[in-house]
Chains A and B, each alone.
Chain A
Amino acid sequence: MSKKAIVSLLVLSMVAVACATDTAEEEVAVEEEHDHSDESTLEMVLERGFVKCGVSGSATAFSETGADGSITGFDADYCYAVAAALFGDYSKVEFKSLTSAERFTSLAAGDIDVLIRNTTWTQSRDTELGNDFGPTTYFDGQQLMGRNSDGISSSSTLADIDGLSVCTNAGTTTEKNITEGAGLVGATITLVTVEKFSEAMDKFIAGECDIVTTDGSALVGRRAVNDALNDWSIFPTSPISKEPLGPVYRSNDSAWGDVINWVVYATIIADEYGVTSANVDSVDTDAFPELGRLFGANDGELQTIMGLDAKAFYNVIKQVGNYDEIYSRNLNPVGLFREGGANDRWTNGGLIYAPPAR
């Protein structure tokens, strides 16, 4: 071949490949048009054979990506629970890791079926953004953490942080809450804003700020990990904000919403009766008619009306577990316990409560 031919071959293939790589995958990427108005998400998901679940992928104990790329955590387990209810197989989930900025657009665009990404239930998100919120699975709230050596104790209040510097992540409601809260009690604080909570913690440890603030669950987790139970205190006892976290789905889709809600309720009811994945097979359904109805032991009519298998919630408990199991498995290792907190059973004075299954 002559030099000319080589040059032309290179140019030819370069341009061809450029065109190919630029646009070749368009064809694949053009997704089928989602017609939300006609078809319920439930029918769509059942037809597809797996559920697309939006999670964070980098939220400790809620949805974290393991070393092998698998996704685990409290939120992830609820995704598995939904799949277990729909398909009788918890593994029929495709996770989509979303940043907090893109989670609602992703849900609205139909990229995901349900968003279980430690999302706080607020009025504007519920009404303006076209979402509906499921039952709260975890009650969180913003708290502050400081060093005992600086005179902070767990009985400290916001007034005690007067004159101290506070680290928090920028542009979030966390920042707004602390400035509003400090303003109310007349405390002057120096705000040090960083992009991520882990950076705020790095600054706190290095002594660049006296106080660090974010959701209580994260603070408790970090205190346990750093083995600083005796050195750092979390205050005030009742959080400065309410952060109820739960599943989110698109508005006006009650068939799908009911499925999500009742998956959560089923785990809570099972917990009330002490039914776990270990003893769900030996449960006496005649003695507890509510469990009989829930697990489809008698006729399972309530589930079949919802468009699910009669054994749907039995599968949830069998394959994923009840609320307490999901909680303990994921949150106990980072130092978060139910006892005496807002996430305890309602019979123990907590807020975890489900309507009756009948």
Chain B
Amino acid sequence: MIKDTKFFIENPYGRWVRDNLFSSSSSAFLTFFAGFMVIYSYRGIVGFILNPERMWTSVTYNMKLYMILAYPDEAMIRVWLSVGLALILGGLSIGFYNSGKTISLGGIFQKLFTISAVIALLIALAPTNTNVIQNDGSIEVVEIISRDIRMLILGPSLVLTLAFFFLRNIKIKNLFNTAKVNLTYFGLIIGSLYFIKIPTISLDSSGERIIPDPFLPIASTTYIPWTILYVAMLLFFFIGSLLKNRDIKIMARLIPISWFLCPLFIFSWIFKKPLVELNTVFSADIPSILVFGIIGFLIIRFSDNESIGVYRTPINIGFLVLSIIVFLLPLVFIFKATMVLLLLLLVVSPAIATTKEGKRQLFIVWIVSLFVLTFLIRGASSDTMLVTPTGSIFGGFSLTWLLAIFGTYASFPLGLALALGRTSTLPVIRIICTGIIEIVRSVPYITWLFFASVMLTVFLPTGVEFNLIIRVLILTAFFSGAYFAEYIRGGLQSIPKGQYEAANAIGMNPFQRIFLVIVPQALRTIIPTLVGSVITSFKDSSLVAIIGLFDILRIGTSVIPAQSQPVVFIGRNLEQLVFLSFFFWVFTFVFSRRSMKFEKRLGLGER
């Protein structure tokens, strides 16, 4: 296609262009066509965003509403604690799992070169004018990027691009730890909160809007908490590095468990501020821990006792019947939940409590789980002490997050159980599990949401009324559980038969075979699919807007375009949609990038 001139053969850039963009006439056509489409849409989007008709302050002014809806002001410290806990854990993990990967100064300049080149390209391609539709239907062309502004940005970015182009070949031996470099970038973002100023809607003492809007730093009300959290994150990064250097093994287990428990703890205790009476703790929680602790000890102690071995099946069935009875009796909820945990212990103990050491460890795990479970349930099942004008403390992004996290947490074990049930050889279990999976999967999510919001109340006995959020959570657990089940089944079927036979050959019982050999391998192969599914459920959570829950989408499309006081935002729905798309994109993009790195570390597709 391109003539074999010297430039396109000897110069590496020229060669790349020839090989990748214009290798044949059809690929040259595709390059031009795709390039035109990309530039056309980019100019359209910029024209839309910079259109003087847009009122972006409607987004920034309502940021708190977007995040937490009507969460009371006096309890804001709880929101910051929740964010802080995640950041601290993040800092600790970055420090502890620091792979020691380094980047040279040249590498940093290479990145900066790319960034400034992209900025220069974007500003060069940006449109000069945009169309504004007047009230009488006529169209007026308005200049959005004047020549001066374009030159003001283009000039320096071109100079920087050139400078970084030469600097990137610099031969300096200095190497920087990537984790530290990333933390510095994050610090720069936090620092920019102080310096970058945007027009902010401000009200004077009598509640009147100050016109024109004064320029205030981004996050003018929240930069202090952000700074504190960043410092705390840095601190925990160094603690994490220290722990790694000291080679403290226990952390390698504690950190994943903390990540797992962190959202549960946040939602049940920090965000919720539960009203816990010591009375109930002493009358229900502590007896429950004692009783179940002793039963668990007995189960673990005698799990490999040979004289009991023959009676194992009757004992298991007995416990199953007992737990059903416990569920039907009007007992404290903690008893019922712990009963489920006990059933699980009964199932796994023959697989693990085979040696004295195994028994000791299982008992420790049992006691710790008992405490954690009781603690979380006590928080989750107590009334909240917070008072909000709307009666619910979850709304906006906190609701989206709640649905996404709890949807995943609850649906994963459910999906695993359904998948194992579906592959089971017992016909009754297999038919029930297949039925659940197929019924749930063959009905759209929106239909199920309407089912939860409208029909579930009809089926439930009178007087039993679930909170709508809980109804949706249960439903989401089943819905994504059914999908998880199918993915996991795919993973299970990818395990060669030889693995089953090998497990049988070394005398493993069915539980050992499934939980120690098959499931770990099956889960490893389906991680990409599972991550995709988690992202889907995160995005799907915005569907709850149609059944009247105030999630972030409903706030953007209904609430903000209706505001008339103190500032009129009536009809400002396009701005919100652009913001929400960007917001969701950032989260899902970061999430999928992390999962790609995770896959690489596990060596998926390589081993």
Assess the B260–A227 pair: CB atoms within 8 A: no
Hey, which chain B residues are within 8 Å of A66, CB to CB? 65, 563, 565-566
Decide: A24 and B136 in contact? CB cutoff 8 A. no
CB-CB under 8 A from A22, the residues of chain B are 410, 473-474, 477
Interface contact A68-B64, CB-CB below 8 Å: yes
A122 at interface by CB-CB < 8 Å: no
By a CB distance below 8 angstroms, the chain B residues around A25 are 380-381, 467, 470
User: Given the complex of chains A and B, what is the CA–CA distance between A268 and B486 in angstroms?
Assistant: 63
Complex CA gap A101/B453 in Å reads 11
Choose one: B389, B409, B558; the contact of A17 (CB below 8 Å): B409
- In the complex the two chains form, what is the Cα distance from A247 to B409 in whole Å? 42
Is B473 within 8 A of A71, CB to CB? no
Q: A94 at interface (Cβ–Cβ under 8 A)?
A: yes
Interface assignment of B362: CB less than 8 Å from any CB of chain A: yes
B570 touching A60, Cβ below 8 Å: yes
Q: Are B465 and A29 in contact (CB under 8 A)?
A: yes
A37 within 8 A of B: no
Decide yes or no whether A222 CB sits under 8 A from chain B: yes
Closest Cβ–Cβ distance, residue B330 to chain A (whole Å): 11
Kindly state whether residue B217 has any CB partner on chain A within 8 Å: no
In the complex, which of the residues A9, A149, A225 contacts B571, with contact meaning CB atoms closer than 8 Å? A225
Stretch of B122-130, B182-190, B365-373 lying at the A interface: B365-373
A147 to B561 Cα, complex, angstroms:
22
- Any chain A CB within 8 A of the CB of B341? yes
How many chain-B residues does the 8 Å CB contact rule pick out? 92
Q: Which of A131-139, A200-208, A248-256, A259-267 contacts B (4 or more CB under 8 A)?
A: A200-208
Q: How far is the CA of A206 from the CA of B376 in the complex (A)?
A: 53
A10 within 8 A of B: yes
**Cross-chain contact B373 with A333 (CB below 8 angstroms):** no
**Chain B residues, Cβ within 8 Å of A358:** none
B344 at the interface (CB under 8 A from A): yes
Shortest Cβ gap from B399 to chain A (Å): 13
Interface size of A in residues (CB-CB distance below 8 Å): 81
Distance between A40 CB and nearest chain B CB, rounded to angstroms: 19
Cβ distance B259 to chain A, nearest Cβ, rounded Å: 11
Cβ contacts A58-70/B at 8 Å (1 or 0 each): 1111001111111
Q: Nearest B residue to A227 by beta-carbon distance? A: B135
> Does A9 contact B413, Cβ atoms closer than 8 Å?
no
A226 in the interface (beta carbon within 8 A) = yes
Report yes or no: A150 in contact with B362, Cβ–Cβ below 8 A.
Answer: no
> Is the C-beta of B603 less than 8 angstroms from some C-beta in chain A?
no
Smallest CB-CB separation from A60: which chain B residue? B562
Task: Using known A-B contacts A18-B410, A22-B474, determine if residue A225 contacts B570 with beta carbons closer than 8 Å.
Answer: yes
**Please, which residues of chain A bring their CB within 8 A of the CB of B135?**
147, 205, 226-228, 231-232
Q: Is the CB of A69 within 8 A of B381?
A: no
A170: chain B residues within 8 A (beta carbon): none
- Nearest residue (CB) in B for A206 is B133
For B477, the closest partner residue in chain A by CB is A22
Instruction: Report chain A residues within 8 Å CB of B376.
Output: 17, 20, 24
Give B527 Cβ to nearest chain A Cβ, in Å: 15
Given A20-B377, A28-B382, verify A5-B337 contact (CB < 8 Å): no
Is A199 in contact with chain B by the CB < 8 A criterion? yes
B-side contacts of A29, CB under 8 Å: 465-467, 470
- Asked whether B348 lies within 8 Å of A12 as measured between CB atoms, the reply is yes
- Determine if B412 is an interface residue (Cβ-Cβ < 8 Å): yes
The one of A32, A67, A148, A334 in contact with B64, judged by C-beta atoms closer than 8 angstroms, is A67
Give the distance to chain A from B252, nearest Cβ to Cβ, in Å: 10
Report whether A94 and B391 are in contact in the complex, using a CB–CB cutoff of 8 Å: yes
Residues of B within 8 A of A14 (CB): 260, 409, 412-413
Task: Decide if A4 touches B516 in the complex (CB within 8 Å).
Answer: yes
A30 CB–B CB distance under 8 Å: yes
Give the total number of A-B pairs whose CB atoms are below 8 A apart: 255
User: For window 1-54 of chain A, which residues contact chain B by CB distance below 8 Å?
Assistant: 1-2, 4-33, 52
Q: How far is the CB of A48 from chain B (nearest CB, A)?
A: 12
The interface stretch among B68-76, B230-238, B427-435 is: B68-76
Whether A24 pairs with B564 at a CB distance below 8 angstroms is no
Complex CA gap A330/B562 in Å reads 13
Check B377–A24 contact: CB distance below 8 A: yes
Asked if A125 CB lies within 8 Å of chain B CBs, one says: no
Taking a contact as CB atoms under 8 Å apart, the answer to whether A12 and B73 are in contact is no
- Which chain A residue lies CB-closest to B370? A16
The answer to whether the Cβ of A99 comes within 8 Å of any Cβ in the partner chain is yes
Q: Is B62 in the interface zone, CB < 8 Å from A?
A: yes
Residues in B whose Cβ lies below 8 Å from that of A59: 562
Q: How far is the CA of A105 from the CA of B382 in the complex (A)?
A: 27
Distance in angstroms from A309 CB to nearest chain B CB is: 23
Q: Do the beta carbons of A196 and B558 come within 8 Å of each other?
A: yes
Task: For the complex, give the distance between the alpha carbons of A201 and B562 in Å.
Answer: 13
Question: In the complex the two chains form, is A231's CB within 8 Å of B136's CB?
Answer: yes
Q: Which of B160-168, B314-322, B456-464, B591-599 contacts A (4 or more CB under 8 A)?
A: B456-464
Shortest CB-to-CB span from A209 to chain B, Å, is 11
Q: In the assembled complex, how far is the CB of residue A171 from the closest CB belonging to chain B, in whole angstroms?
A: 13
Query: Which of the residues A69, A72, A222 comes within 8 Å of B70, measured between beta carbons?
Result: A69
Asked if B17 is an interface residue, CB under 8 A from chain A, the answer is no
Q: How far is the CA of A350 from the CA of B211 in the complex (A)?
A: 37
8 Å CB contacts to B: which residues of A329-353?
A: 330, 333-334
Q: CB-nearest residue of chain A relative to B548?
A: A99
Give the complex CA separation of A4 and B565 in angstroms.
60
Q: A223's closest neighbor in chain B, by CB?
A: B135
Q: Is there a chain A Cβ closer than 8 Å to B345's Cβ?
A: yes
Most chain B beta-carbon contacts within 10 A, residue among A1, A150, A207? A1
Within 8 Å CB of A69, what residues of B?
64-65, 68-71, 388-390, 395
Is B571's CB under 8 angstroms from A226's CB? yes
A61 to B566, CA, bound (A): 11
B409 in contact with A12 (CB, 8 Å): no
Q: A13's closest neighbor in chain B, by CB? A: B369
Partner of A13 from B260, B383, B515 at Cβ < 8 Å: B260
Residues of B258-281 whose CB lies within 8 A of A: 260-261, 264
**Which of B341, B362, B395, B466 is in CB contact (< 8 Å) with A15?**
B341
Q: Are B466 and A24 in contact (CB under 8 A)?
A: no
CB neighbours (8 Å) of A198 from chain B are: 557, 561, 571, 573
Q: Is B436 an interface position by the 8 A CB rule?
A: no
Could you tell me the distance between the alpha carbons of A14 and B406 in the complex, rounded to whole angstroms?
11
Which residues of chain B are near A149, meaning CB under 8 Å? 136-138
- B381 near A27 (CB under 8 angstroms)? yes
Q: Does A221 contact B (CB under 8 A)?
A: yes
Rounded to whole angstroms, the CA-CA distance of A67 and B260 in the bound complex is 33
A19-B516 Cα distance, complex, nearest whole Å: 23
Task: Write the chain B residue with the least CB distance to A15.
Answer: B413
Q: A196: which B residues are within 8 A, CB to CB?
A: 557-558, 573
In the complex, the answer to whether B136 meets A148 with C-beta atoms within 8 Å is: yes
Chain B 368-412 per-residue mask, 1 if CB under 8 angstroms from chain A, else 0 = 110011001100111100001111000100000000001001101
> Separation in Å of the B360 CB from the closest CB of chain A?
9
- For this complex, 10 residue pairs linking A to B, each with C-beta atoms less than 8 Å apart, are A1-B365, A8-B348, A29-B470, A58-B558, A60-B570, A69-B65, A94-B390, A97-B548, A97-B550, A101-B548
Known: A12-B348, A65-B390. 9 other contacts (CB 8 A): A19-B337, A31-B465, A60-B563, A97-B548, A99-B547, A102-B547, A148-B136, A221-B570, A227-B135
Chain A residues near B (Cβ < 8 Å): 1-2, 4-33, 52, 57-61, 64-72, 93-99, 101-102, 105, 109, 147-150, 196, 198-199, 201-202, 205-207, 221-222, 225-228, 231-232, 330, 333-334
